[in-house]
């Protein structure tokens, strides 16, 4: 959530900055209008309360002195009636301002290119895509042939976009999860968290998915939501808390299934594991001070890159343009891994700095020093990594001419010493 005090100043360039984030300045106008009305009403309430208190004291003084207080008492009653009406209007006025504020996206960091996805900038490439002297079989075809990926049975069970992994395919995914968690906890300094997969509406509001992305969520009849990422649960651990500065930065990592309707995406990237409604992901979350957040952002990116380098998968890093950055983020890097069979780059991690946007919604603060006024923390996250497209990249970058899949060296211990996987 943006800082209401900053928006009230309506500084030059604010509307353009909101447009650059695909936001609608109409919501800014709504907020400014509703905020003025709310503050005017609040001022009226405070004035009426002061007047009523003052005149009530005078009524008491007159009665004590034996003077006539009937007329003044009637005025106090009239003030009370006006005050009651104003107080009743105060809640709806505040709600109108907050509702408009909730639809405004975070503002982009100064280093973010302005524009749509065409303006994303490649800031790094690691290794050239592999070239093979035999035709590469796409992951969905080879996965079906080896009986690792079963899309038809998943579709029959739950509908399109719900894959079934079997045999060595399921084992490979489990090996990747354990490898990711081991590296992030034992070497990158994260504390592992196993948090709920179902959360309340306010938890998703806190991390910025609601209200904008409600159509992309799976929801139960009692208004619990299946998480789209472990970021939601892990970040919400510290909602409405004032943290000790000595505890920062907090570095957490967690594994979870992720559930996404992907509303409006039907017909795009639907082959195999490329775009699915349920998938596994390891997520990293950082909570830190404003001064340290962009250093932590670069470290977070490096941790995600480290996994790809150990897997020896060619990848590139994109700095996303303002119009392609998620609603809540101020700056985002995407990590894209190269898939030889599809001959394309696939996103496997988004590494985002939300600055204080999530913290304001979550009322998550820290005290810079004992006795100091609490300030909002900065929150960050990155996939470390998402499993489906890593599986695609391994199947397509490590396959052999006879239709088997070599095991990346770092995964050999996690697969009982196997160096090649077949049917």
- Asked if 366 and 242 count as a contact pair (C-beta separation under 8 A), the reply is yes
Q: Which of 340, 350, 352, 383 is the catalytic position?
A: 350
Catalytic residue among 260, 286, 361, 365: 260
φ/ψ (deg, to 5) at 87: -65, -35
Catalytic, 350? Answer: yes
Say which of 52, 275, 361, 365 is annotated catalytic: 275
Contacts of 150 (CB under 8 A, 6+ apart): 144, 163, 164, 165, 166
Active site residue 130: no
Q: Would you write out the chain's pLDDT as a tens digit for each of its 423 residues?
A: 999 999 999 899 999 999 999 999 999 999 999 999 999 999 999 999 999 999 889 888 888 888 888 888 888 899 989 999 999 999 999 999 999 999 999 999 999 999 999 999 999 999 999 889 999 999 999 999 999 999 999 999 999 999 999 999 999 999 999 999 999 999 999 999 999 999 999 999 999 999 999 999 999 999 999 999 999 999 999 999 999 999 999 999 999 999 999 754 554 566 899 999 999 999 999 999 999 999 999 999 999 999 999 999 999 999 999 999 999 999 999 999 999 888 899 999 999 999 999 999 999 999 999 889 999 999 999 999 999 999 999 999 999 999 999 999 999 999 999 999 986
Q: Hey, where are the domains in the chain?
A: 4-102, 117-421
The catalytically annotated residue of 347, 409, 419, 420 is: 347
How many Cα atoms within 13 Å fall on the side-chain side of residue 395?
A: 31
- Number of Cβ within 10 Å of residue 367's Cβ equals 15
3-state helix, strand, coil in the chain (%, to 5): 45, 20, 35
Class of domain 117-421: alpha beta
Quick check: is 67 catalytic? no
**What's the rounded Cα separation, in Å, for the pair 415 and 420?**
10
Residue tagged active-site, from 286, 360, 361, 389: 389
- The correct CATH number of 4-102 out of 1.10.287.40, 1.10.3720.10, 3.30.930.10, 3.10.580.10 is 1.10.287.40
* C-alpha of 243 from chain center: 20
């Amino acid at each position: 959530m943006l800082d209401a005090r900053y928006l009230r100043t309506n500084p030059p360039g604010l509307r353009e900055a909101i447009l650059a984030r695909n936001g609608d300045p109409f919501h800014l106008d709504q907020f400014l209008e509703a905020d003025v009305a709310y503050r005017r009403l609040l001022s009226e309430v405070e004035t009426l309360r002061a007047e009523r208190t003052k005149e009530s004291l005078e009524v008491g003084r007159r009665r004590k002195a034996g003077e006539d207080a009937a007329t003044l008492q009637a005025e106090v009653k009239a003030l009370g009636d006006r005050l009651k009406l104003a107080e009743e209007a105060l809640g709806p006025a505040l709600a109108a301002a907050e509702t408009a504020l909730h639809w405004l996206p975070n503002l982009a960091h100064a280093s973010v290119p302005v524009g749509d996805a065409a303006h994303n900038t490649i800031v790094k490439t690691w290794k050239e895509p592999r070239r093979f002297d035999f035709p590469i079989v796409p992951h969905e075809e080879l996965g079906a042939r080896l009986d690792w990926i079963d899309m038809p049975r998943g579709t029959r069970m739950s509908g399109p976009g719900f894959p079934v992994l079997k045999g060595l395919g399921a084992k490979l995914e489990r090996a990747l999860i354990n490898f990711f968690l081991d590296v992030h906890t034992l070497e990158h300094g994260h504390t592992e968290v196993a948090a709920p997969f179902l959360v309340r509406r306010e938890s998703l509001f806190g991390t910025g998915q609601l209200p904008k992305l409600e159509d992309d969520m799976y929801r139960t009849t009692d208004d619990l939501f299946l998480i789209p990422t472990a970021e939601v649960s892990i970040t919400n651990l510290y909602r409405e808390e004032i943290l000790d500065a000595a505890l920062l930065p907090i570095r957490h990592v967690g594994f979870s299934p992720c559930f996404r309707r992907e509303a409006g995406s039907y017909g795009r990237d639907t082959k195999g594991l490329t775009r699915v409604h349920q998938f596994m992901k390891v997520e990293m979350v950082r909570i830190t001070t404003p001064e340290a957040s962009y250093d932590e952002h670069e470290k977070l990116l490096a941790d995600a890159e480290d996994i790809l380098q150990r897997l020896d998968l060619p990848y590139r890093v994109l700095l996303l343009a303002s119009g392609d950055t998620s609603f809540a983020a101020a700056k985002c890097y995407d990590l894209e891994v190269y898939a030889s069979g599809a001959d394309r780059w696939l996103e496997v991690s988004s590494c985002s700095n939300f600055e204080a946007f999530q913290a304001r919604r979550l009322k998550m603060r820290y005290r810079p020093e004992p006795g100091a006024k609490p300030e909002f923390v900065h929150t960050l996250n990155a996939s470390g990594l998402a499993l489906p497209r890593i599986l695609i990249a391994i199947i397509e970058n490590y396959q052999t001419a006879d239709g088997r899949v070599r095991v990346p060296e770092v995964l050999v211990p996690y697969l009982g010493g196997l160096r090649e996987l077949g049917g």
